[in-house]
Chain A
């Protein structure tokens, strides 16, 4: 799930400064307003609460809080909340509901009874196929996508997801290795954890919450390693 894009964001964060809506980030006609910024005369003004970064001439704000906005290609975890004649309505914790059409499921589906595959309340991992004018389309075509059985689901701030995954997946792989749990982190902030027993699942949950709380600290992977070692020794 980790992409090169996110690693870059991680690096830029170091340079960032916290800005609030209406605050001037920089002045000068040479700068260009990027994401969540506008130009007012010579000033580049933030329109969202977050970290301001300047890369070359481009100024943008990286949001720190707020609801998840789906983007094409994101893998998300969602819950089936309704069934229509040609697909499922999925809640992915974003401003809009998502739709999963039958055609985007690789398995054979009995059109007379969609509940055979997914019933209301079931959880799935899916990819965002398209974000259209109104609504989001999902797909289950792809590796590792499909219905989630057993395990538990926790919810975290979607802006902390890159931190939980870590550079090249280092952080999440560490937790997987130490707790022996399967973990799927959706870009929308839902995390699915499944282990051999409740104890290991709870430990994985605790370490993810640890990362979320301490996400502003540098060298976090090492701290998490220490945290896990301590916990495992005690148990």
Chain B
């Protein structure tokens, strides 16, 4: 039997309920919350600020330093706190996804510190994290040419779906499941993150990217709305 109906009853190109909020960490220079259903990410931005140790400084532009982590209670099986192979990889990947839009040339020798914490996880956490970080960076007043929006596209058996949940990620029948997190820049529509875990045919991948692009437009709308509604209050 092929995957004709999603486990949680969503349409194939429908994301889970999206929640956004800007300014959730008052002490930070910028912060945001972004959630896809039960996957909730909180991002806090500090800086630009002086960077130490000095050998890490870049005299040409400021650097972005992302720290991604999942809280120990965010998953059913307690996650051991502290950095891991997985969290270092995701931190780097988020840095690479956001760096192309940042304009840190005016802040040489400084660092922009970003902390993203997943307080509740149900797959697609790196996408929720990227969306939260993009909003938090904008809130922190970091000059950037555009926002970045991310979504995960999955191939469950032979069907392309959007915003994968844990149960879909663990789907084993037929061709199994393939998870493809994609991030798009909002204005120029360029891919700034593309990862793939599983197997997929070239033409299906192209289709998946197109699907991701379409859904990212909708998510961008939510990010925009959250930032604008905060702006009215300050």
- Chain A residues in the interface with B (C-beta under 8 A): 18, 20-23, 36, 38, 40, 45, 47-51, 63-67, 95-97, 134, 157, 159-160, 215-216
Q: Which of B29, B110, B146, B234 contacts A22 (CB 8 A)?
A: B146
Is B50 among interface residues, defined by CB-CB distance under 8 A? Answer: yes
Interface residues of B, count at CB 8 A: 34
Query: Cβ of A66 and Cβ of B145 under 8 Å apart?
Result: no
Within B43-74, which residues are at the interface with A (CB < 8 Å)?
A: 47-50, 62
Q: Across the interface, which residues of A come within 8 angstroms of B233, CB to CB?
A: 216
- Report Cα–Cα, A48/B227, bound state, in Å: 12
| Total A-B contacts with CB atoms under 8 angstroms apart | 88
Given contacts A65-B30, A96-B110, A134-B109, contact A49 B138 (CB under 8 A): yes
Q: How far is the CB of B3 from chain A (nearest CB, A)?
A: 36
Interface residues of B (CB under 8 A from A): 29-30, 47-50, 62, 101, 103, 107-110, 138-147, 185-187, 223-224, 227-228, 231-234
Beyond A21-B138, A65-B30, A66-B30, whether A45 also contacts B187 by CB under 8 A is yes
B144 touches which one: A18, A21, A40 (CB < 8 A)? A21
Q: How far is the CB of A16 from chain B (nearest CB, A)?
A: 9
Shortest CB–CB separation between residue B110 and chain A, in angstroms? 5
Interface of A is mostly: loop
CA gap between A107 and B49 in the complex, in Å: 32
Q: A47 contacts B143, CB within 8 Å? A: yes
**Residue of A at shortest CB range from B234?**
A64
Can you list 26 contacts pairing A with B, beta carbon distance less than 8 Å?
A: A18-B227, A18-B231, A20-B147, A21-B101, A22-B144, A22-B146, A22-B185, A22-B186, A36-B143, A45-B187, A48-B141, A49-B138, A49-B139, A49-B141, A65-B234, A66-B140, A66-B142, A67-B49, A67-B141, A95-B48, A95-B50, A95-B62, A95-B110, A134-B108, A159-B234, A216-B234
Across the interface, which residues of B come within 8 angstroms of A21, CB to CB?
A: 101, 138, 143-147
Tell me the complex Cα distance, A124–B138, Å: 32
Chain A residues with CB under 8 Å of B108's CB are 134
Contact present for A97 and B144 (CB under 8 Å): no
Q: Which residue of A lies closest to B146 (CB)?
A: A22
* B50 in contact with A47 (CB, 8 Å): no
A65 contacts B232, C-beta separation under 8 Å = no
The CA-CA distance from A31 to B179 in the complex, in Å, is 45
Q: Which of B30, B145, B228 has a CB less than 8 Å from the CB of A45? A: B145
In the bound assembly, the distance between CA atoms of A96 and B49 in angstroms comes to 7
Give the chain A neighbours of B224 by CB distance below 8 A.
Answer: 20, 23
Instruction: State the Cβ distance, B28 to closest chain A Cβ, in Å.
Output: 10
A63, A67, A157: most-surrounded residue (chain B CB, <10 A): A67
